Structure 1
């Protein structure tokens, strides 16, 4: 089940840094074996929503390894009229490399000048799974949801009100307590890499 941007129940704050665009990270823990859900909020002055969203366009997303330290590769492996499917290989530092195979949705709302980018696992796509089976060389993770919601700041300043909702499974035998403890730092780092790159757009 995908989390709604308006569903904030049961989240608790696990990280806050005023110097990083007032970044705050919240986490919702499940009572089952499901992975925790993270919500990240920021207000980024001087960077418009389009500048951030453009990093994930079909034209630019292949450049992610150029600005994201832990991204080894990002390639489009399937195209259709609704969304493309990408295979991303990630260096997880203290874990083995992970690959994610995701549908990518990218939408612009011209009335509010807001952008919506979402990555969702494509593990239910038979053709893609046939052509890209799991193998022993890399561990396959799964994005249940990785959604970026980018809106202009409310007060007329040039900038972006940034919301990320993420629920991912790292694959292998990584227990939930590892995910809870060690996700915050790389998530914060990745957001700053996004902002620093977007400033150049």
Structure 2
């Protein structure tokens, strides 16, 4: 009796190894892209009024200190009341790394500052900050308040849960697909020749 040839043979094994290598290269590329996106997101250095602060007088200007020089065309700052009414009184004024936004925030209550900027080196800064106008003891806290709480807990920093999840999935796919591609095929069972007598 004769045994059938192995399915695929050397050429099939080479194709499987090539496919596995391609899967690994693509997966590593995705991981590098996600990791680079994390590094490109940086935090605001300071904001005045400080995040979660209470001021006792109307506010006429919001000041943000960025970790680099912003591109004016990619700079967006919105200041809103609790009801969503915007209170900006003019376009942002850029001086080096400092951005000043004139506002008319003279009513008591909470305000939210939402900002996004692209820096000259292509890094991104985005997030939100909140302050309240009321009977609190704090003032504008020009430097002290900003130094104590420059960014609060609202920054989009490097610990993005979605990117971390995708990185884990990427590693699992590399392992699973590489194992499938490199697994050796089964040998065909032996077959009796036609007309051969049974022993």
Shorter chain as denominator, the TM-score bin is: under 0.3
User: Which one has a larger percent helix, Structure 1 or Structure 2?
Assistant: 2
